[in-house]
Copies of this chain bind each other. A is one copy, B any other.
Amino acid sequence: MIRIGVLGCGNVGAPLVQLIEAQAPAIEARTGLRLEVATVAVRNLSKDRGIPLPEGLLTRDAHAVVSDPSIDVVVEVIGGIEPARELITTALANGKPVVTGNKELLANVGTELFAAADAAGVDLLFEASVAGGIPLMRALRESLRGEPITRVMGIVNGTTNFILTKMSEEGAEYMAALTEAQALGYAERDPTADVEGFDAGAKTAIIATIAFGAKVVAGDVYHEGISRITAADIAVARRLGYVVKLLGIAEQLPTGEVAVRVHPAMVPVTHPLASVRESYNAVFVEGRAVGSLMFYGRGAGGSPTASAVLGDVIDAAVNLSKGTHGAIGTFGKAVTLPIDETSAEYLLSLDVADKPGVLHAVTGVFARHGVSIRAAEQEGNAPDARLVFITHEAKESAVQATMRELRELDVVRNVGGLLRVIGA
């Protein structure tokens, strides 16, 4: 019998309690261990949780849970940094394995918690912290421990993928798609964390840390969101054979540096990430031996996330029963490459006055900054036209300098969305 103390009974905690109860017999048949939710700590005892809970299961005293000698495994699904950090640290110090789905915590103080778990000799498992129900963390931590991973690219935010899908498939403008996402509960009233890439940035930091074994925190991740992308940008990309996706990218460069960033990207329509629609998540992993892998599924939602938490709980329970635990390893500080130093192919679109000499003036700016043009096309005719350029691989700093100088040209009315192209 494994007694589980759950901290939090919201979106993930409530379905987790139900799932454990429903699956306990099947899990016992497979592992010989009976899981039981012994206590659930909440802030408000009288709030309706939407599920039937046995009398006396709830408590307001989370600190008592992490110190209770009769609790074998602690699950933290409160979210946020405090009091989650303090509760987890206490549980670990008390020799209790901890399962958490807290991306904010891990993206900021993850390696500190990993060290605390290693020092205490217990498991700290966190599958649900990135990409919800998708078993990505276990794949990176265990299956791919020996794989020379070169790059991980993920659609790790369902809200923005839903918005981009609407814009791409229905031609919706950003604001209309956002409003629909809010109406469906996919986006929050203040959507900043999702649409500006903060959420994806935190997840990308965790991915980079685990994939490359080097400490990357949320603040290391350069991020651009999707709020300035227009239906016109997406239409141009589509005509050229690309789908626009918000990607979290973590790369290990041959120099040993790690590059981590979140930005909208043009993905070739035949690339597996291109067909990830609506609010689904997917993470594409490239390694020198394994080639390309992709992991696809529900990146959020109470029930899929609870499924990931349960997988970790079983792991912790099995390890506990054997007197062992999984080592996370140690993490040196990553040397991160500044965004200015990264390279990509870029798509730029410019609204210009349509008159003789404009293309010459514009291409001169590219040339001065050493940015080579792979393709150019003009839409529309005098008096106004739109020029779209795709560059050869170029350095971010050179492209940014090009854009700054283009904005100062008299003939340029507007410099539109900058999209980076992901190679096939």
Contact = CB atoms under 8 A, between A and B. Distances in A.
Interface of A: 15, 19-20, 22-23, 26-27, 29-31, 127, 133-135, 138-139, 142-148, 213, 270, 272, 274-277, 280, 282, 287, 289-298, 301, 303-304, 306-308, 310-311, 313-315, 318, 322, 324, 327, 329
A215 B135 CA distance: 25
Given A30-B213, A148-B22, A324-B324, A293 B143 contact: no
A422 B388 CA distance: 41
A290 B308 contact: yes
Given A135-B144, A146-B314, A292-B296, 17 more contacts: A23-B146, A23-B147, A133-B293, A138-B142, A142-B142, A142-B315, A144-B307, A147-B307, A272-B275, A274-B275, A282-B294, A289-B307, A290-B307, A291-B301, A291-B303, A292-B297, A293-B296
A28 B292 CA distance: 24
A98 to B, nearest CB: 17
Identical copies in the complex: 2
The 8 closest A-B CB pairs, nearest first, are: A135-B143, A294-B296, A290-B307, A275-B275, A293-B297, A289-B307, A146-B310, A143-B311
Contacts of A20: 146
Nearest to A144: B311
A272 B292 contact: no
A318 B141 CA distance: 13
B289 A329 contact: no
A147 B313 CA distance: 12
Contacts of A296: 272, 292-296
Contact of A291 (B148, B276, B297, B311): B297
Contacts of A30: 145, 213, 329
A212 to B, nearest CB: 10
B290 A298 contact: yes
A136 to B, nearest CB: 9
A329 B22 CA distance: 20
A290 B309 CA distance: 11
